Amino acid sequence: MMGLSMNTFVFKSFAFAVLILGGCAPQTYRPATLPLYMQGAGLPAIHPVVAEANPAPTPPVKTPSQTQEFTLNQAVQTVLQADPRISAAFENINQAQADLLTAGLLPNPQVNTDIQLLPLTQTFTVTRQGGPPQFDFNVAMPIDWFLFGKRAAAMVSGEQGVDVAEADFANTVRLRIAAAISAFYDVLEMQAMLELAHENQDNLARMENIIRNRVAFGGVGTIETDRIRLSIFSGRRDVHARELELAAALNRFRALLGIADAVPVNVKGSLEVKSLVKPINTETAFKWAEANRPDLASLRKQLDKANADIKLAESQAYPNVTPMVGYTRQFQEQAIGFPDANSWMAGMNVSVPIFDRNQGNIGKAKSVYSQTQLNLQAQLVDLRAEIDQAVQTFTSAYQFLSNDDPGQLDAAKNVRDKITQAYELGGKTLIEVLDAQRTYLETYRVHISGRSSYWHSLYQLNAAMGKQILQ
């Protein structure tokens, strides 16, 4: 009868354990993926890279000698796929998923076994009784994670951590793509400036030939040869300066693309604006930013996580409860003359939270919650200033192009060419020629800078709103 009761108890205990463990298995958490900036135009999605246990060595990649040319969309795609900083930011999501997995794991059972009451100096017999020796086997399993919701609170906190990592990743993508677009238009601007510097150098070289012919025929003095040489030297310095600026812009662009090799890169595009996009007001842009900025989403999710951490810290204040069940085998026959016996035991260990009720961690979690609220308020203040500045910058660039006279550049070029022709015939002075050339040069630079500012400010405003609203 005793053996039957023992078997029934063991079976019921095993069934209860299976029910608990099976019903509390952690489920894979799949948060709603935040929209990524510039992903609305059919760009590739980001997928995690699963590391192999023993990855094969990667063969060395031969650096191609030909120049890699990128359009704007190709540059954005390359940033999403190859930028190591984006890949590194994605690992934060994997780490948050790992923390969530750890939070959902059940505590390990504890096993204790011993043999006690063994004879020390002489053997136990019926006439020299002792002991009797016994063998104990106990199994203990904490259940406070189930009774007081400690595991559930930890899993909620872990899920919020995954949401925060997702939002931070989306913000990293936004910033890296915005930087790559800015670098793309920097290269276009520097290319146009370098072409203008070469054009200016060619014009000065033609003027030098004209002056030499006039000096040879006695039309002007040699002082004008010296003047044009000084202008040519100044033009060469300008070419070298523009070459350095272009090289710096290309290096920034290559770094943002995640290209580590010394591969020549170039961009394919134009600064010309076919149709102007009308600006929007600050309030509208701010509402778009509030709805789409992933850094704001991250702070809101951090607020949720801080609230979950408070509940987690409060659940940890409950006592630790560890029930146990055990089996004992008593070896009585030799020691006291009775048959050997089997028995079982049940017990429970409970901590008594009198002094340590997790007060410190609860207070810290509440402080983090307050701190996150203040950070969110500060971010909203900074965001309004950022949006206002971006709107004003784009509006200024829009007004510049709207009021820009399309014929101004042609007029400056015609004035330069006519004065040059008149000088060749002796009707104008060299100072007038150089002044016309300088006016054309400055007008062309303003033309380039105005269009570059338009594209920069347009994409800067889109990035500030967190979504490509203006296009």
> Nearest CA to 236 among 211, 201, 207, 193?
201
In this model, does residue 4 exceed pLDDT 80? no
Higher pLDDT among residues 72 and 20, named by residue: 72
- pLDDT at residue 40, as a whole number: 53
- Ranked by mean pLDDT, which of 56-65, 67-76, 219-228, 314-323 comes out on top? 314-323
Distance, first Cα to last Cα, the chain: 84
Alpha helices by DSSP H, listed for 29-143, are 72-82, 84-104
Question: 14 falls in which pLDDT band (50, 70, 90)?
Answer: very low
Long-range contacts of 271-277 (CB under 8 A, 24+ apart): 271/185, 271/188, 271/189, 271/192, 271/448, 271/451, 271/452, 271/455, 272/451, 273/401, 273/451, 273/454, 273/455, 276/398, 276/401, 276/402, 276/454, 277/398, 277/458, 277/470, 277/471
pLDDT above 90 covers a percentage of the chain that reads 56
In this model, does residue 12 exceed pLDDT 60? no
Chain-wide mean pLDDT for the chain?
Answer: 85
- Give the pLDDT confidence of 281-293 residue by residue, as tens digits: 999 999 999 999 9
Distance, C-alpha 21 to centroid of its chain: 37
DSSP for 367-392 reads HHHHHHHHHHHHHHHHHHHHHHHHHH
- Give the pLDDT confidence of 218-270 residue by residue, as tens digits: 666 677 777 878 888 988 999 999 999 999 999 999 999 888 887 889 999 99
**Bridging pattern class, strands 68-70 and 265-267:** parallel
Structure tokens at 137: 């086997």
DSSP for 118-152 reads --SSS---SSS-----EEEEEEE---HHHHS-HHH
In this model, does residue 47 exceed pLDDT 50? no
- Give the pLDDT confidence of 333-366 residue by residue, as tens digits: 888 889 999 999 999 999 999 999 999 999 999 9
Q: What is the mean pLDDT of residues 365-369?
A: 96
User: Of 57-66, 151-160, 161-170, 203-212, which range is least confident?
Assistant: 57-66
Structure tokens at 222: 């040699």
- Give the pLDDT confidence of 77-110 residue by residue, as tens digits: 999 888 899 999 999 999 999 999 999 999 999 9
DSSP letter (8 states) at residue 258:
T
In this model, does residue 312 exceed pLDDT 60? yes
- CB 180, CB 265: distance < 8 Å: no
Question: 44 falls in which pLDDT band (50, 70, 90)?
Answer: very low
Whole-number Å distance between alpha carbons of 265 and 64:
11
SS3 content of the chain, % helix, strand, coil (to 5): 65, 10, 30
In this model, does residue 297 exceed pLDDT 80? yes
- pLDDT at residue 282, as a whole number: 94
Query: How many other CB atoms are found less than 10 A from the CB of residue 196?
Result: 19
CB-based contacts of 330, cutoff 8 Å, min separation 6: 132, 133, 134, 340, 341, 342, 343
Kindly state the helix (H) or strand (E) to which residue 466 belongs, with its residue range.
Answer: none
